[in-house]
Chains A and B, each alone.
Chain A
Amino acid sequence: MKLQIWIGLLGLGILLGLMTVYRVYTVGFVVYAKTDVLVWTLPLATYIFFSLTSAGLAFVSSIPIIFGVKRYEAIEKRAIFLELAVLIGSFVCLVLHLGSPLHVIYLLLSPNPASPLWWLATLYTIYLVIIVSAFWRIHTARSSKILGVLIFLIAIATSTTLGWLMGMTDARPTLNASFFTMYFPLTAFISGLAAMLLFSLVTAYFSNREITQEKNTLYNELARILGIAAGLVLILFLWRSIIGGISSTAEGYLAFKNIIGSIPYNIELWLGLFIPSLLMLVPSIRVTVWGKVTAGALLLIGMFAGRLEFVLSGVVRPLGQMAEGRPEFISYMPTISEILVVAFSLSIMLLIYTLGERFLKLEELPE
């Protein structure tokens, strides 16, 4: 019964999403909080969130192959499947961000290797094929070292290329920094760890499955890594704020200074980094299921807000002639359609995961 209600909810999310798709392609992109200034908003931020979480899950799934820690094979199959589901969710957001998605054929017919976007499109296509192949091999009780290594390498490539995408925009000093090529893989890793913990524990709870002693030890170990990594990211995050915002006199960073007081920024800082790292660094909380679930959920919410904060910090300040007749900063509030795009991609991702959990024996170990 619980499962039927859950599937019904996801079905509703997908139905509302399909209605949004229809509106986007008939009425136009005016259903988004569009202005000529805010050209990248919630759908793109959600795409970045999902794609980085998928890369993070790839890092987690690669631990047994790349670092030779065999006990992590216990979560490999679930991690790879989750990676696939999250990646498909990111594609949904990306397609709904693009003005003319049918023209993507020109990525093949007229490629521009100087563009990070072209590389992202290429890498994600390869990534999808490799994840599907790797999952299929594990599902048929065979493990592939080569595919595992490839997943790891492509996850590094995609997360750092996303950093290149943001980092090459000289026009927007807030985005223009090599910082992103380091920040994105790191935050991808903590997002992947958080998603792994959250989905494993919540699935075990709802399917009334006993968590074995070995699994429990493994989850505690993941939680400890999460606490340390989130703490490191927090330090990096604070330095970004100090160097780029508080202590900078450069005009270009005015947009970032404006963002520092915003809701997404503070959600990222407090809910996404500070509280989860604190929870996971206290041993008595770390060993509890609620502690891990809370930390995982908060971190993912914080990272989601963080992706939006990153995107907005680059676009809130109008440039050149776009500034004519406009205030110095443009405020942003997502529209219902933008929120439904997020709900649509999340519902598809969760539906894929739910079906996988039901029919594909995600608890199985590769041989």
Chain B
Amino acid sequence: MSRYAMVIDLQRCVGCSSCSISCRNENNVSEGIYWSHKITETSGTFPNVRFHYIPTLCNHCEDAPCVRGCPTRAMHKLDNGITMHDPKKCIGCRYCMINCPYGVIYFNWSDPHEFWRDKRTLMKGGSSSPAEENRKVGGKVIPYYNPERAETLSGIRAKGIVEKCTFCDHRVKNGKLPRCVEACPADARIFGDLDDPKSQVNKLIGKFRPFRLKESLGTKPGVFYIRDFSSASYPRTKGGI
């Protein structure tokens, strides 16, 4: 059986957000919800400052606290290591959000894609409403609706339940890479099977010194980060007093 994982090469990542945009389109993600996101950090004191950018997504932890705490097994592990969510079992208690150390689970506080449900027009008789535009192109709530998402999960998740990244399980099932991996113009995201010693992810994990987010918590995340981007150099020095 496979055990899927992702390596993110921070030296290759340019912070273009292609991953986040393609994820949104692939999974019909509503505004305000981020299956794919980032952590930005600034280090140093002016004028010696640096900007760090860490792309984030669900870590598909091996020992996932969200799965352990879910009372109805709505949040569960698939045999291939993916942490999956079943909307029909979700009671909306948000305990998974409390338990997730990475802040990658979101709750639908209201009906998703509210913008595209709006029936109001800017000018009566002069412009069409978002809902009308959507109807014209035959979209399901949103004009860019991707029906493939509905193969394994609700195409659009309802109000009152949580949602998060699924490593594009519907694509992986059909032998395709997750959409964010495919869309990355710098090939900074590498996806593969940890149980296959010859996989690219295993080669990279073995070649570099990877780190995972909040490793001390023991959740064993399935997202590994390697290298770091820095174009800076400095003259060789021993410092001084």
Contacts and interface: CB of A to CB of B under 8 A. Distances in A.
A binds B: yes
Contacts, number: 151
Contact of A107 (B37, B71, B88, B92): B71
A104 B91 contact: yes
Contacts of A170: 65, 99, 101, 217-218
B93 A117 contact: yes
B97 A115 contact: no
Contacts of B156: none
B7 interface: no
Contact of B213 (A30, A100, A320): A320
B156 to A, nearest CB: 14
Q: Size range of the interface on A?
A: 35 or more
B102 A110 contact: no
A319 B102 contact: yes
B56 interface: yes
A169 B98 contact: yes
B106 A107 contact: no
Contacts of A172: 98
A115 B72 CA distance: 9
Interface residues of B, number: 46
A165 B94 CA distance: 12
Contacts of A323: 39, 103
A323 to B, nearest CB: 7
A28 B70 contact: no
B95 interface: yes
B98 A99 contact: no
B213 to A, nearest CB: 7
B90 A99 contact: yes
Nearest to A35: B109
A210 interface: no
Given A28-B111, A98-B91, A112-B70, A321 B34 contact: yes
Contacts of A171: 65, 98-101, 217
A119 to B, nearest CB: 8
A323 B158 CA distance: 25
A318 B71 contact: no
Interface in B94-147: 94-95, 97-104, 106-111
A101 interface: yes
Contacts of A99: 90-94, 107-108, 159-162
Interface string B10-52: 0000000000000000000000101001111000000000000
Nearest to B112: A28
B5 to A, nearest CB: 18
Contacts of A97: 93
Contact of A115 (B37, B95, B108, B110): B95
Nearest to B89: A106
21 contacts: A28-B110, A36-B103, A36-B106, A39-B98, A97-B93, A98-B91, A99-B92, A99-B108, A100-B91, A100-B158, A100-B160, A103-B91, A115-B95, A117-B93, A121-B71, A168-B99, A318-B103, A319-B100, A320-B213, A321-B104, A323-B103
Interface of A: 27-30, 32, 34, 36, 39-40, 97-101, 103-104, 106-107, 109-112, 114-118, 121, 165, 168-172, 175, 314-315, 318-324
Given A99-B91, A109-B89, A321-B56, 20 more contacts: A30-B109, A36-B97, A36-B106, A39-B107, A100-B91, A100-B161, A101-B91, A106-B74, A112-B73, A114-B69, A117-B71, A118-B71, A168-B68, A170-B101, A170-B217, A170-B218, A319-B101, A320-B103, A320-B104, A324-B37
